[in-house]
């Protein structure tokens, strides 16, 4: 976009078809709030969920970012009026939430876009954890620079043992991926939230297939690991992955990371974003594992919390006997869900 102050990255997470994927996962309806003003434009995508508890004659709702990252984003801002634009958005969205009986909002801001910075006066913003990625643009050979010495050693060992890899753009089905993914989720005793069903994977192919890459690790012709990656505007995002435990000694994850890093560099992508850990600790095992594959750190994964109707929020917390001090938001959903 040519306007001064316009965002220079709109990612896969801001595609409406991406948001619609998670309507059934979140048991809600995907919506877009477009705000236009003489100061500029802001777009906000979210899923509106009905709150199951009935505390009066009408229904109430809360809103949440679809799986991954999102939040409001400034599409255009004119001159020095960026802060004024956000203030006007705040007023307009507050009116919208009042009219739509929206009680609270939980946002997962985008760590690469750093849109949390623009909306700190609107939301209660909290830094959660860093995210890591592989810088493909800055190096002629990102494998040698970005990957750790131990990761490169494991890759060489796997390739010597005969592990092969394939990188496939725009797949026409995900049947093999679903098998390895569900096997992995079972092994990890994953929350039901992460067991995406057939309808989800079909919609992923039908609506976002042109943005998908499937990376496979193979041994003696058998798939031993698979990874789904999104491609969009020079950015690659690791989405979902799975492996078969009996082949872990052949380092399938390392081979897949090697494959997608090489592929991304050859195709002219700038960054392979791997995300962060499962917790906010810098000692989180998943975070430390991902750091083996990249030295690029984003501005960090930040969340935003907002109570749009404090009276009803308090009533819901009282009705559900919720503890608003335990950190879960919205507190009235704490007993029904363990996901963030």
CA-to-CA distance for 148 and 89, rounded, in angstroms?
44
pLDDT of residue 78: 86
Equal CATH topology for 12-129+300-333 and 132-297: yes
Classify domain 132-297 at the CATH superfamily level: Gcn5-related N-acetyltransferase (GNAT) (3.40.630.30)
pLDDT by residue (tens digit) across 203-259?
999 999 999 999 999 999 999 999 999 999 999 999 999 999 999 999 999 999 999
- CATH number of 12-129+300-333: 3.40.630, 3.30.1360, 1.10.3470, 2.60.40? 3.40.630
Question: Roughly what angle, to the nearest 10 degrees, separates helices 175-187 and 198-208?
Answer: 130
210 burial level (CB within 10 Å; 0-12, 13-18, 19+): exposed
CA-to-CA distance for 20 and 26, rounded, in angstroms?
10
In the chain, domain spans:
12-129+300-333, 132-297
What confidence category does residue 337 fall into, taking pLDDT thresholds of 50, 70 and 90?
A: low
> What's the mean per-residue pLDDT of the chain?
94
N residues, the chain: 340
Residue 236: closest CA among 252, 206, 212: 212
pLDDT by residue (tens digit) across 273-326?
999 988 889 889 999 999 999 998 877 999 999 999 999 999 999 999 998 777
Query: Tokens in use for 143?
Result: 């494998």
Residue 85: closest CA among 121, 110, 127: 121
Find out whether 184 and 240 touch, Cβ atoms under 8 Å: no
Cis peptide before 330 (omega within 30 of 0): yes
Q: Are strands 40-50 and 271-275 parallel, antiparallel or unpaired?
A: unpaired
Residue 2 has pLDDT above 60, yes or no: no
What DSSP line would sit under 168-182, residue for residue? Answer: EES-S--HHHHHHHH
| C-beta atoms surrounding 283 within 10 Å | 8
Higher pLDDT, 79 or 254: 254
What confidence category does residue 339 fall into, taking pLDDT thresholds of 50, 70 and 90?
A: very low
pLDDT of residue 278: 86
Least confidently predicted of 39-43, 55-59, 106-110, 120-124: 55-59
CA-to-CA distance for 49 and 300, rounded, in angstroms?
27
Average pLDDT over residues 39-62: 96
């Amino acid at each position: 976009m040519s306007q001064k102050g316009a965002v220079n990255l709109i990612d896969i997470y801001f595609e409406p078809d991406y948001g619609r994927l998670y309507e059934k996962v979140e048991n809600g309806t995907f919506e877009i709030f477009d705000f236009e003003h003489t100061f500029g434009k802001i777009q906000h995508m979210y899923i509106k969920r009905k709150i199951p508890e009935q505390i009066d004659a009408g229904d109430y709702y809360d809103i949440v970012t679809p799986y991954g990252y999102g939040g409001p984003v400034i599409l255009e801002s004119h001159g020095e009026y960026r802060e004024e634009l956000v203030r006007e958005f705040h007023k307009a969205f507050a009116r919208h939430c009042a009219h739509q009986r929206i009680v609270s909002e939980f946002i997962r801001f985008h760590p690469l876009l750093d849109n949390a910075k623009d909306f700190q006066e609107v939301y209660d913003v909290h830094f959660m954890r860093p995210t890591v990625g592989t810088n493909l643009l800055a190096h002629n050979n990102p494998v040698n620079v970005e990957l750790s010495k131990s990761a490169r050693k494991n890759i060489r060992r796997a390739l010597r043992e005969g592990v092969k890899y394939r990188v496939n753009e725009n797949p026409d089905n995900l049947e093999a991926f679903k098998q390895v993914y569900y096997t992995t989720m079972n092994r990890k005793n994953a929350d039901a939230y992460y067991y995406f069903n057939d309808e989800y994977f079909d919609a992923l192919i039908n609506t976002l297939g042109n943005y998908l890459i499937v990376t496979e690790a193979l041994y003696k012709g058998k798939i031993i690991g698979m990874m789904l990656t999104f491609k969009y505007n020079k950015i690659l995002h690791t989405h979902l992955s799975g492996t078969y435990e009996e082949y872990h000694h052949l380092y399938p994850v390392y081979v897949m990371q090697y494959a997608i890093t090489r592929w991304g560099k050859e195709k002219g992508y700038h960054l392979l974003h791997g995300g962060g850990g499962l917790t906010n600790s810098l000692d989180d095992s998943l975070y430390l594992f991902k750091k083996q594959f990249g030295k690029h750190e984003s501005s960090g994964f930040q969340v935003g919390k907002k109570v749009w109707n404090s009276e009803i929020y308090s009533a819901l917390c009282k009705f559900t006997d919720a503890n608003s001090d335990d950190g879960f938001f919205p507190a009235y959903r704490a007993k029904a869900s363990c996901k963030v």
